[in-house]
A and B are shown apart, each in its own frame.
Chain A
């Protein structure tokens, strides 16, 4: 490194004021996310109640309609709106936004909003009970697919704004390293763009013409492959904003410094590399993909273990160093110095802990052979309720406690802080029961995405139903947590006392090693990402197309159209 160029280490302002018009945009995104939380959460509650066998849906509402709403509104709408809003706020804070960029970002917002409304309408009319994965050859109403496409394209527009924001900043600050948060947002939007190209191609080229009747048949396996090319990076798109909060905000909240700027950047770059060329691990039990290529993508999948280990090390190193600076003694004395009574720390911390079993479960899921035992069982549902619905959601809640009052010119009061702590505990208890029961029932073979059924009866099924009862109890507790969170959101947005709440951005250690300049080499990062994707997908996709069977005509009757 001695010979390589080093970036100018002089400090640049990392904290710009956020104007009223900016705040309005960011809050619009976040508000849609919280409304989605309420609707999607209610759907989740109804599902667990139906599956308990003690409750039937009123007004002829179908279970799978409810399930489609739950998946689309929480998996796609809540997450994307919150993340895009958070990305914008992080960029506005660190590199700034121009009036023109703001205007373009609003276009993105309205596209996403109308896309969501279109998809929601078709689902509510019972024209799109295809679940959020919309697997062909089940055919939803064309407007459903068009709505989804608009949500994605809208999110791209905001992503382009984010890139432009960084480019403008870099021009104004030649030779300076980009602020860490801006670097992370750029990585995440890059990953999102490259990944969602896959599903965009599937929707625009395959689904829309076929659903409108212009194309007679669809290549089912190709559509699934394109979906999962997108579907796995999607989960990292959810996770990386949580990592941003862990790397950049949490150290500040606990009164510490960033453990290592380069390490944080490196882990994000590795996530960019290894989150996309891995979709086959969702398709391990499919008949038409060569097993060797499945195994290659399994290997690539497991590479994300490396940045995950780096992250775990950095976080706990920050905790320990900070605790010791505050006078902690002994091997674990620093643990007591952490601000347990500060919800901005506690909620994301519980999220970090949930990621330990979540990550282990993920390794099991992607493990070529072990996958056969749990594929499409409710174990998988239990898994992502730990990762996205606990790790990611509790961190997003943790972000909301300071971001919303910061944007609204209000304060997080001790009373709301206390409510937040109660909320985090309710969430933890509810999720432990629900996700735990899902994991166990899944190991016993209980299927996911299925309404209440006694099948042919027998011991096996009786056992599943017992765990479904536990899921209903956990789901009810979680819904109480959701109501409390929405109450907190309203309170923070409209009623908390006026004041200033900090946007926490931690600094590096005084004597930190300078970050190598090659981190700013975006062409290299994008180049390696594309090479990895081509290496993992070119041959198997050609194989899928060359050896594909006749295409499938659309089916409407199974979803009651």
Chain B
């Protein structure tokens, strides 16, 4: 040792650093082998015209059933509103229903400033930044009604930006 360390301190540090290594290995295993990385796709989009991307054309917004238990939800975020498209009667959608156990791909893009997209109480939690598509696929297996909140400050109406997702049995 080039620096004197007390015996107990060595034990303490070996134990501490050992735990740290185990912890990082667990995180790394989860991220690289089980694919539990936080969302990071680097998919870009024209921030001035998000409709140039197929997913964010008005008719493709909201919930789309892809197959039996697979869904895609496309959302256009803008101050201070999540656009989930319109229903058959032409009314604005701000509540979607998904059967329990479905695999859901959430795709969000912003038309103006930075927003957040959090299905509160779950790990569907993404920053939504101009120029990028935020996306995360998850299995919704716990029934209940979840509040979708904008959790990144986007201006004076930030707290009025929300929707709900219902997972039903």
Q: Which residues of A contact B (CB under 8 A)?
A: 1, 4, 62, 64, 129, 131, 133, 135-138, 220-221, 224, 260, 262-263, 266, 283-291, 294-295, 298-299, 302, 305-306, 309-310, 313, 317, 363, 367-369, 371-373, 375-377, 444-453, 455-456, 458-461, 513, 516, 547-553, 555, 557-560
Interchain nearest-CB distance for A541 vs B (Å): 14
Q: Of residues 120 to 169 in B, which have CB atoms within 8 Å of A's CB atoms?
A: 120-135, 145-147, 149-160, 162-164
15 contacts between A and B (CB under 8 A): A64-B155, A64-B156, A131-B153, A137-B112, A287-B133, A295-B28, A306-B17, A372-B38, A377-B151, A445-B149, A458-B147, A460-B147, A513-B4, A547-B44, A558-B80
Bound complex: CA A559 to CA B147 (Å): 24
Bound complex: CA A286 to CA B135 (Å): 10
Q: Which of B30, B45, B112, B155 contacts A369 (CB 8 A)?
A: B30
Assess the B147–A309 pair: CB atoms within 8 A. no
Interchain nearest-CB distance for A295 vs B (Å): 6
Known: A445-B121, A450-B151, A460-B146. A287 touches B129 (CB 8 A): yes
What chain A residues lie within 8 Å of B94 (beta carbons)?
456
Assess the A456–B164 pair: CB atoms within 8 A. yes
Interchain nearest-CB distance for B27 vs A (Å): 5
Helix, strand, loop or mixed for chain A's interface? loop
What chain B residues lie within 8 Å of A560 (beta carbons)?
155-156
Assess the A294–B118 pair: CB atoms within 8 A. no
Asked if B47 is at the interface (CB within 8 A of a chain A CB), the reply is: yes
Bound complex: CA A376 to CA B31 (Å): 21
Assess the B3–A285 pair: CB atoms within 8 A. no
What chain A residues lie within 8 Å of B113 (beta carbons)?
135, 137-138, 552, 555, 558
Which single residue of chain A is at the shortest CB-CB distance from B3? A262
Assess the A461–B38 pair: CB atoms within 8 A. no
What chain A residues lie within 8 Å of B41 (beta carbons)?
287
Interchain nearest-CB distance for A75 vs B (Å): 14
What chain A residues lie within 8 Å of B32 (beta carbons)?
295
Interface stretch (choices B6-14, B58-66, B67-75, B83-91):
B6-14
Assess the B42–A285 pair: CB atoms within 8 A. no
Assess the B160–A453 pair: CB atoms within 8 A. yes
Q: Which of B9, B45, B112 contacts A549 (CB 8 A)?
A: B45
Known: A290-B40, A310-B13. A456 touches B155 (CB 8 A): no
Interchain nearest-CB distance for A561 vs B (Å): 10
Which single residue of chain A is at the shortest CB-CB distance from B78? A558
Assess the B13–A306 pair: CB atoms within 8 A. yes
What chain B residues lie within 8 Å of A266 (beta carbons)?
3
Interchain nearest-CB distance for A200 vs B (Å): 21
Known: A310-B13, A549-B132. A288 touches B42 (CB 8 A): yes
Bound complex: CA A161 to CA B127 (Å): 41
Bound complex: CA A372 to CA B118 (Å): 9
Q: Of residues 1 to 38 in B, which have CB atoms within 8 Å of A's CB atoms?
A: 1-6, 8-9, 12-13, 16-17, 20, 23-24, 27-28, 30-32, 36-38
Assess the A456–B163 pair: CB atoms within 8 A. yes
Besides A372-B125, A548-B131, A551-B47, 4 other A-B contacts (C-beta < 8 A): A262-B4, A288-B44, A376-B118, A377-B151
Q: Which of B128, B132, B155 contacts A559 (CB 8 A)?
A: B155
What chain B residues lie within 8 Å of A263 (beta carbons)?
3, 5, 9
Assess the A367–B27 pair: CB atoms within 8 A. yes
Assess the B132–A221 pair: CB atoms within 8 A. yes
What chain B residues lie within 8 Å of A291 (beta carbons)?
31, 37-38, 40
Assess the B155–A138 pair: CB atoms within 8 A. yes
Known: A220-B131, A263-B5, A287-B132. A377 touches B118 (CB 8 A): yes
Asked if B92 is at the interface (CB within 8 A of a chain A CB), the reply is: no
What chain A residues lie within 8 Å of B114 (beta carbons)?
135-138, 220
Q: Which of B30, B37, B122, B154 contacts A294 (CB 8 A)?
A: B37
Q: Which of B2, B9, B156 contacts A62 (CB 8 A)?
A: B156
Which single residue of chain B is at the shortest CB-CB distance from A290? B40
Bound complex: CA A548 to CA B24 (Å): 30
